[in-house]
Amino acid sequence: MRVLHIWNTAGVASVIAKYQAKILGWETWVITRSKYDPYNLTYYGTKVKDPNYIFYIRVLLIARKYDLIHLHSFDKIIPLMKKIYPNKPIVMHYHGSEIRNKWESKKRYWSKADVVLISTRDLLNNAPNDVIYLPNPVDLEIFKPMSNLTKNMNAAIYVYDPLNPALSKDITWAKEIAKRYKLNLKIHNRRKTPINHLNMPLFLNKFEYFIDRKSIPSLSKTGLEALACGLKVIRWDNNVITRLPSDHKPKYVIEKLYDIYESILRNTVF
């Protein structure tokens, strides 16, 4: 099976494509634009410096070589992709704000895909009945405890992006949580001091706690990665969790996605 992943929201495409190749032996690749990957999340795949219209042309040409196209957030290309390749299966995968509370306004795009996936359960609100939840996978070869590092006990980290109003607003809540649990809180502005994705395990392993977001009732991908590194994560409902849920491990996600692909291919006429 040859699968092309287009765009790489939160680095999810790189994790999926890597483990599809590793577990299933498939030919997979990821392509995205450098402009939208400031943290080097595309460690599996390639980033191009194309302007928007050139990127459209590039991926439409590359797509001819693949059996299935898996789009991440980049839904506007679906109508054109289907017009050029009417029989090529297309998976539309949404990851957050690009679809939250926008199902109706974006129907002209996602309705033309063969299947629509979402990465967090909160996105099921007002979603069509046939939308499928696929948990975000964590690359456990990268995110893991580092016993050689000295962990700062009772230290907590809250990571935010100032371009995300919700996460910026949650800083007040993070401070309240830290005070309640008597934690030494560090607030990290990822735009001001960017951390390369492959260096995040080293960064996270220095803390005992990770304070996740309050405004969205689901674990963020960074929160999941913190769990994989052995941190205690305080989530939106103030509960502390200590283990990565098994449905976020790559094997589970890849097997579930395999079944989804198989269902699409059974109904596709080439």
pLDDT exceeds 60 at position 83:
yes
Residue type, 74: F
- Please, what is the average pLDDT of the chain? 95
Q: Which residue has the higher pLDDT, 268 or 178?
A: 178
Q: Are residues 194 and 99 in the same domain?
A: no
Q: Are residues 48 and 6 in the same domain?
A: yes
At 166, which helix (H) or strand (E)?
helix 165-169
In whole angstroms, give the CA distance from residue 96 to residue 203: 25
Radius of gyration for the chain, computed over Cα atoms and rounded to the nearest angstrom: 19
List, for residues 137-187, the tens digit of each pLDDT value.
999 999 999 988 878 899 999 999 888 877 788 999 999 999 999 999 999
In contact, 122 and 135? CB cutoff 8 Å: no
Q: Are residues 256 and 241 in the same domain?
A: no
DSSP codes of every residue in 128-152? -TT-EE-PPP--TTTS---TTS--E
Q: Are residues 10 and 128 in the same domain?
A: yes
User: What was the pLDDT predicted at 268?
Assistant: 66
pLDDT exceeds 60 at position 269:
no
Q: Are residues 53 and 174 in the same domain?
A: no
Decide: helix, strand or coil at residue 217.
coil
In whole angstroms, give the CA distance from residue 125 to residue 155: 35
User: What was the pLDDT predicted at 147?
Assistant: 84
User: What was the pLDDT predicted at 140?
Assistant: 98
**Which DSSP symbol is given to 194?**
-
> In sequence order, what E strands does 152-222 have?
152-160, 184-189, 207-211
In contact, 107 and 120? CB cutoff 8 Å: no
Between the alpha carbon of residue 254 and those of residues 161, 229, 250, 257, the distances in Å are: 29, 21, 6, 5
Q: Are residues 126 and 168 in the same domain?
A: no
User: What was the pLDDT predicted at 270?
Assistant: 44
The answer to the question of residue 22 being in a domain is yes
At 93, which helix (H) or strand (E)?
strand 90-94
pLDDT exceeds 50 at position 132:
yes
In whole angstroms, give the CA distance from residue 174 to residue 177: 5
User: What was the pLDDT predicted at 120?
Assistant: 96
The domain total for the chain is 2
Q: Are residues 183 and 129 in the same domain?
A: no
pLDDT exceeds 90 at position 76:
yes
Q: Are residues 61 and 7 in the same domain?
A: yes
CATH of the domain at 49: 3.40.50.2000
List, for residues 201-235, the tens digit of each pLDDT value.
999 999 999 999 999 999 999 999 999 999 999 99
Strand partners, 159: 188
**Which DSSP symbol is given to 74?**
-
**Strands laid side by side in the 184-189 sheet:** 184-189, 152-160, 207-211, 232-234, 240-241
Q: Are residues 178 and 118 in the same domain?
A: no
The answer to the question of residue 41 being in a domain is yes
User: What was the pLDDT predicted at 212?
Assistant: 97
Q: How confident is the model at residue 254 (pLDDT cuts 50, 70, 90)?
A: very high
In contact, 10 and 41? CB cutoff 8 Å: yes
Token pair recorded at residue 28? 């997979």
pLDDT over 90 for what percent of the chain? 92
In contact, 170 and 111? CB cutoff 8 Å: no
Q: Are residues 127 and 261 in the same domain?
A: yes
Which residue range forms the structural domain that includes residue 230? 152-246
List, for residues 48-71, the tens digit of each pLDDT value.
999 999 999 999 999 999 999 999
Say what the pTM is. Answer: 0.96
pLDDT over 70 for what percent of the chain? 99
